[in-house]
Structure formats: C-alpha cells, structure tokens
Amino acid sequence: MPIAIVSGSGGLIGAEAARYFCEHGFDVIGIENDMRAYFFGPEATTRHTTERLEADLGSSFRSLAIDIRDEDAIRKLLRTNKAEVELIVHAAAQPSHDWAASEPQTDFTVNANGTLNLLQAARDFTPAASFVFTSTNKVYGDRPNFLPLAELETRWELPEDHQWYGGIDLTMPIDLSTHSLFGVSKAAGDLLVQEYGRYFEMPTVCFRGGCLTGPQHAGAQLHGFLAYLMKCTVSGDPYTVFGYKGKQVRDNIHAHDVVRAFHAFHRSPAAGAVYNLGGGRDSNVSVLEAIALCEKITGRSLDYELSEQARIGDHMWWISDLSAFKADFPEWELTFGIEDVLRDIHDSNAERWLAEVAAR
C-alpha cells in the first residue's frame, strides 16, 4: 500500500488530507504534536481531531507525536518507510502572523527549519514522492494594500478593469513589503520548497493559500477567521474586527477543495511548481459580509466591535487568481462557495458550541 505522510494531521488541512488520502488508497502516517494548543491555548487543541481520525480510519492511519523541528525523528520516519512513501503533504505550521511576533524563534524554526528537515529527508530517502507545501498569500506581504482599492458600502474592491480584478497571480513580487514575521518564515519555507524542486528536480509544489477553512478548524481569535466568527455568532461571545472598517476582503476555500488540488498535483506532478489557491472570484467575502452571512445562517446577532487598529501586515483585499492552476489541472474546480462553507462550519459545530456555553 502506498504511504502518504501528512504533517500537521490534527489541523484543518492535515486532517482533511489524512481522511481524503486514506479514502483514496493510501496508508497515512500523520505527524502531529498538538503544538496548536501551545500556540493558541487549550481550546485550540487538536487532540480530539486526532482521536477521531484514529477511530474512523482504523489501521490505515496512525499519528506520531513527532515535532517537525526534530531532524533525527523526521529522517528516521522517512528512512523507515522509504519504499512506500509516494506523497508528503506538509501542513504543520505556526499559522498566525500575530502569534509569530511573540516568539519569533519558535515561529521560524517550525515554519522554516521544520520545512527544511522534511525536504532534506525527502531528498535523501524519497526523492520521487510528491512534496506538497501549504504556503500562504502572506508571502506577498502587504503589497495588495497598495492596489488602487475603492471603498464600497461593505468592502474594499478593485476596479473591474484592473489586471487583478479576477484575482492576484504569481507576478506580484514577494519582497519590499511588510509581511509579519510569520509571512517571512513561510516565505523561507516556500523558497526552500521551490529550490528543492528546481535544484534537485524533485516534484514539489507550493500552494499559496488565501483563507483555507472548513468545519474542522479549531477556530481561535488569532487564527481561523470564519470558524471563529461563526463560533462567536453561535455562542454569543464578543468579536473584535481589527482595522479597515471590517471591509477587508478574503477569498475562502473549503479544505476539501484544497486537498483535491493536492491530489490533482500528485497525479501529474512537476518540479518546483507554485500556485495561488483560494476561493478566487467565486468565493470571497469581506468581514462585514461574513458577519451578515453568519447572522443569516444562525438567526442570531453577533456582538462585535470595530477596532481602528489593523493587524500589522494584514491584507485589505485578497482574491487569488486560480487560472494558472485550472489551466494545468482542468479537472479541478471549486465545489464549495462561501455560503456553503459557512453552513458546513455551522452545521458541524453549532450543537457542540452551544453545549460548551451551557456548561460554563
């Protein structure tokens, strides 16, 4: 049986990937040390997700509590399984730009050194395995904020005749801008993944994600915007919108569509590929628009305030251009729109969130 290694298998993307690839003929070995609870507190633990995967997937899945910063453990894992490993999905990360400023060395060693450990072990033991890296649109820093954005009633928006109205493509430069330290550590990982692809001709890909979301997101204030917004709407907890009058636009893609993109690449890999990946023009929303949708779906009002303080490096507007990926993989398409994503988050979690409120 071919093996897929999935780092961060208790997280949003990792869990979706573990489930998906088990269902598509792989044995999956997860790498997950529950560091999300260290980053964002006990409410963000991924323990339940790992336990659910183990219960649902049986012998096709096992989760190892390895830290991707532990070079020896990573090398041992790939050396031991080198004959079977056909795919590596690297989704473990410190994922928040706000958190990165509090412990820059932890952020950098997880996002950059951890990626290097996996790449070098892959080069030495499984060089033909597809290596999928979940990069981020934060590699572009705050450059999107210098686009000629117009203020509309509920969102910032580009003029329709702008070259990037349909979405930003890879020609946007990644330097000479403010990234947050998270954006820098992810850019280091992104460049390493490209370099191992180009220099060593390994089948690597960077997916520079917009907002990746889904019902399994352990939403916390510092990461997992839509899941946390829906959680606050359901539970009645207050929510703070940081900056830009709540009109900042994000494109949102369901984790299932993200993982389907990984599979498309694995079926027909190339060396050193890079794509922007998000909801694109078909699935995007401003924070104010997302609040209105959450209120519509739940029938409740969100208790929120608008802070004038924007997060450093935060985007006022981001929509991914998906045309390059669609051209290379025409069989792939989005299957969830923004309202479908929010309904899925709500329907999968509302009962549990209400029970948590009742138990307080």
Ligand X SMILES: NC(=O)c1ccc[n+]([C@@H]2O[C@H](COP(=O)([O-])OP(=O)(O)OC[C@H]3O[C@@H](n4cnc5c(N)ncnc54)[C@H](O)[C@@H]3O)[C@@H](O)[C@H]2O)c1
* Interacting residue ranges for ligand X, rule: CB under 6 A: 8, 10-14, 31-36, 46, 67-69, 91-93, 95, 110, 114, 134, 136, 186, 209, 211-212
Cβ–Cβ under 8 Å, residues 280 and 208: no
- Spatial CB neighbours of 32, under 8 Å, sequence gap ≥ 6: 7, 8, 9, 10, 11, 14, 46, 50, 63, 64, 65, 92
Least separation in angstroms between CB 50 and ligand X:
8
Least separation in angstroms between CB 176 and ligand X:
21
**At CA 67, angle to CA 64 and CA 72, rounded to 5?**
95
What are 339's two structure tokens?
Answer: 């309202």
Q: Could you tell me whether strands 156-157 and 150-151 are parallel, antiparallel, or unpaired per DSSP bridges? A: antiparallel
- Residue 35, CA distances (Å) to 23, 44, 136 in order: 26, 9, 19
Q: Is the CB of 134 or the CB of 286 nearer to ligand X?
A: 134
SS3 state at 57: helix
In the complex, residue closest to ligand X by CB: 11
Least separation in angstroms between CB 22 and ligand X:
17
SS3 state at 322: coil
Q: Is the CB of 13 or the CB of 168 nearer to ligand X?
A: 13
Q: Is the CB of 8 or the CB of 167 nearer to ligand X?
A: 8
What distance, in Å, lies between the first and last C-alpha atoms of the chain? 46
**Bridge partners of 304?**
239
Least separation in angstroms between CB 42 and ligand X:
13
Q: Is the CB of 130 or the CB of 201 nearer to ligand X?
A: 130
- The DSSP annotation for 79-135 comes to HHTTTTEEEEEE------HHHHTT-HHHHHIIIIIHHHHHHHHHHHH-TTSEEEEEE
CA dihedral 49, 115, 138, 325 (to 10 degrees): -80
Least separation in angstroms between CB 207 and ligand X:
8
**Bridge partners of 151?**
156
Q: Is the CB of 203 or the CB of 214 nearer to ligand X?
A: 214
Q: Is the CB of 300 or the CB of 311 nearer to ligand X?
A: 311
Least separation in angstroms between CB 41 and ligand X:
12
Least separation in angstroms between CB 187 and ligand X:
11
Q: Is the CB of 31 or the CB of 293 nearer to ligand X?
A: 31
